[in-house]
Homo-oligomer: A and B are copies of this chain.
Amino acid sequence: MVPKYSSSRENYVKAIFHLQEIHGTVTTNDVASEMQTRPASVTDMLKKLKAQKLLLYEKYKGFKLNTEGRKVALQIIRKHRLWEFFLVEKLRFGWDEVHEIAEELEHISSKKLIDRLDEFLGFPKTDPHGDPIPDSQGRYTISRQVDLLNLPVNQIAEVSSIGDQSVEILELLNHKHIALGTRLEVKKKFAFDNSLELKIKNQSTVTISEHVAKNVFVKYDDE
């Protein structure tokens, strides 16, 4: 079972996929900073991905994944998120410590393994950070959600995903007892710095900054 693409190539494909989801178009510098590497290294890799027919790329003219490239990206994302789910649900890891490990596990090549894992986990729809898990054909659905800055005051809602997934923000949220599935409501908005006071169900009241609020997404039933 020889892997079709090296781990390095897979990491590039995944990074490009995420960047083009957000910005539509992707730049060499974006990829370099996202991947903690040098622009020259990115250019080198772009040529290889183009040669492998995963990427539409003309030098100096920008680039994006083609259909095959997106398909590859979605399979890696599927593996990443299923492993994260496994680590949290079965091995009792915290949601803030699984990303790094999944970064390695996502490169295990067996398709049968990942489909069996999916089944074993009960075909979960979202990972521990609330992100959708593509099915074995790469299909997934995104549920409508709103960040905390845009949640009406006194509207009870449920945390459904986190934008920034750095260890730093996850650590902060952990400390304040905010996790996926947590039910909460905004009690007060301070116009001065856009900080918020939250009432967390069955917990005390906490304050969060605008920066944090922007990265916490919730779902709620608006009637």
Contacts and interface: CB of A to CB of B under 8 A. Distances in A.
Interface stretch (A16-24, A53-61, A87-95, A124-132): A87-95
Nearest to A115: B91
Interface stretch (A102-110, A194-202, A214-222): A102-110
Contacts of A90: 120
Contacts of A87: 113
A124 to B, nearest CB: 15
A1 interface: yes
A100 interface: yes
Contacts of A40: none
Nearest to A3: B104
A211 interface: no
Contacts of A153: none
16 contacts: A1-B100, A1-B101, A1-B104, A87-B113, A90-B120, A91-B113, A91-B116, A91-B117, A92-B116, A93-B112, A93-B116, A101-B110, A101-B113, A104-B108, A105-B108, A108-B108
For the complex of A and B, list the 6 residue pairs with the smallest distance between their C-beta atoms, beginning with the closest: A91-B116, A101-B110, A104-B108, A101-B113, A91-B120, A1-B100
Interface of A: 1, 87, 90-93, 100-101, 104-105, 108-110, 112-113, 116-117, 120
